[in-house]
Chains A and B, each alone.
Chain A
């Protein structure tokens, strides 16, 4: 049986191409029509991949036609010369047998993702497998392959730090808040500004458990609107700085040209709250909070550059983990090859096509 993967990803194709090949819901039937014994479509915003098992080799062109039946039509290009399409002209990659397994393992672990270590892809792979299983297009070969891929992903996640750290500015800010305060449910948060950035950050904090949210804005009306959307209370803009004696987190994102908070203003307010840290996220450009504030004991000031730098550090740290992840993949690949060669595997001892347990999916994977 020939195990293969034909696909496109963000490495090799632009968004337009991915959109073009990603939307065929009848792929299972079409794959069967092309002579494929088993087939599965993994389509995300960054990749479109067909995994299949067949007794005879199915050409890349046939798979491409399953994904987009318009291939070969002169107006659509792709090396059409007198009705003939050359497979090399198609933007697809192809992996066979062990290479196919290795590729899927890397995909499931997030190594092949645009943001290394992201976990959403594992949930998408589980859903794709579940859909193929329900449609009856995933048989014992794809079952073994995907079950092994899920195990590899779990192994890599627990034994490396490939998913460690946040890689976007927003999540870095929220994660840092959690790192300082632990449970955000007891934190008092003041959002300064009522623009789009403020709204996004406020929503992110509410989703992580913040219950005491306060909003202050030069325009009271906009503050009221945002407060209604996020179940927050409104603080008059004239008195917002006095809140610094009480709040735990300050998010500043106004369009003010001059700093709104200086060290001299903040220092006396902190005397009554010396035992509690104050986390200031200044995502405004130009900055709303004077940099000198960071020198105060218990104050942690992060501007957009600092947050960006941590996101980059996390990404670099994740990339360093690729070597360790590849080693784990190589071990699993050897075991997988052996199990395929011997015709038996531990996975096959269970039901032939077990469903993927939804409870094993994290919210980020759904």
Chain B
């Protein structure tokens, strides 16, 4: 039953993508309204799925790779809902929806939704550690999306070929400010998640620890580089995209290891 909610949610995000593509092709894109509504609806259905699944497993629904992917997709949509209007990232919906659809379709189509044979004992620190780290992934994802938007706009400004999409993108400096804030949000939440891992009270696999620290160091370096002026904004934007791709791969590693260690 809960999978139906996820399918409806995916359809909502697909509608947002289709709407954007049609409008951009017709060069009549009107920012926010429709996309915000479609992404908002998709977010509600995602939340409904997580609520039902949480009830079913009796804890935060991040017990297998399928649930982890959906939780990350939910975090991306959550940050979009919070950050989008605040920073007036007018095309954010258009760039966010494809990532959410990609994550949700992968989760739905791949045979990764394996229920646990044994019900896991509740561990609030472990749940907090895992969930807050995944919410941080939402911020990193949105920073990556803002990075793509920055690179697209930068490229058009450099080549002097301004396409229709250019006029719907936020100003370059506003985008960079948004990237910086998202990086800080993500880094702050991830640090909190990492620190709470010390209170879990049970031994964690070393691969998981190394992967988690690698992600933390990666984003710490990007932020350090941004403030010490090692990198120009264009490089920071590119690093956000690369960083999120790497973090997603490491997340798979962390989840895979965690699953193989779960009784």
**A positions within 8 Å CB-CB of B:** 158-161, 164-165, 176, 178-182, 271-272, 274-277, 294, 297-298, 300, 302, 306, 309-310, 313-314, 317, 320-321, 324
Contact = CB atoms under 8 A, between A and B. Distances in A.
Nearest to B234: A297
Contacts of A160: 27-28
Contacts of A180: 157, 171-173
Interface string B226-263: 10010111110000000000000000000000000000
A275 B162 contact: no
A324 B171 contact: no
A298 B170 contact: no
B164 A317 contact: yes
Q: Which 6 A-B pairs have the closest CB atoms?
A: A182-B171, A297-B232, A274-B229, A306-B160, A182-B174, A161-B27
B26 A298 contact: no
B167 interface: yes
A324 B233 contact: no
A310 B153 CA distance: 15
B28 A310 contact: no
B171 A179 contact: yes
Contacts of B119: none
Nearest to A161: B27
Given A164-B167, A272-B229, 10 more contacts: A180-B157, A180-B172, A180-B173, A275-B229, A275-B232, A275-B233, A297-B235, A298-B234, A314-B162, A321-B27
Contact of B27 (A294, A297, A298, A320): A320
Contacts of B166: 179
Contacts of B167: 161, 164-165
A120 to B, nearest CB: 20
B55 interface: no
Contacts of A313: 161-162
A300 B234 contact: no
Contacts of A158: 30
Contacts of A164: 27, 164, 167
Contacts of A159: 28, 30
A309 B164 contact: no
10 contacts: A161-B27, A180-B157, A272-B229, A275-B233, A277-B172, A297-B234, A298-B233, A302-B160, A313-B162, A320-B27
B158 A275 contact: no
A121 to B, nearest CB: 21
A103 B128 CA distance: 66
A309 B160 contact: yes
Interface residues of B, number: 27
Contact of A161 (B158, B162, B164): B164
Contact of B158 (A176, A182, A274, A300): A300
Nearest to A180: B172
A294 B172 CA distance: 17
Nearest to A160: B28
A272 B232 CA distance: 11
A181 B173 contact: yes
A307 B108 CA distance: 49
Contacts of A272: 229
Contact of B226 (A179, A275, A302): A275
Contacts, number: 71
Contacts of B26: 324
Contacts of B153: 179
B154 to A, nearest CB: 9
B27 A317 contact: yes
A176 B29 CA distance: 20
A294 B158 contact: yes
A181 B162 contact: no
Contacts of B170: 182
Most chain A beta-carbon contacts within 10 A, residue among B160, B226, B232: B160
Contacts of B172: 179-181, 277
A274 B29 CA distance: 33
B174 to A, nearest CB: 5
A160 B44 CA distance: 31
Contacts of B28: 159-161, 321, 324
Contacts of B231: 274
A181 B171 contact: yes
Nearest to A176: B157
B171 A298 contact: no
A352 B114 CA distance: 70
Nearest to B172: A180
Contacts of A274: 229, 231-232
A150 B158 CA distance: 39
B157 to A, nearest CB: 5
Nearest to B174: A182
Interface in B156-198: 157-158, 160-162, 164, 166-167, 170-174, 176
Contacts of B226: 275
Most chain B beta-carbon contacts within 10 A, residue among A179, A182, A309: A179
Contacts of A317: 27, 164
Contacts of A276: 173
A310 B160 contact: yes
B232 A298 contact: yes
A158 B31 CA distance: 11
Nearest to B88: A182
A213 to B, nearest CB: 19
A178 B27 CA distance: 21
A309 to B, nearest CB: 6
B241 to A, nearest CB: 17
Nearest to A186: B173
Nearest to B27: A161
Contacts of B158: 294, 300
B171 A277 contact: no
Contacts of A310: 160, 162
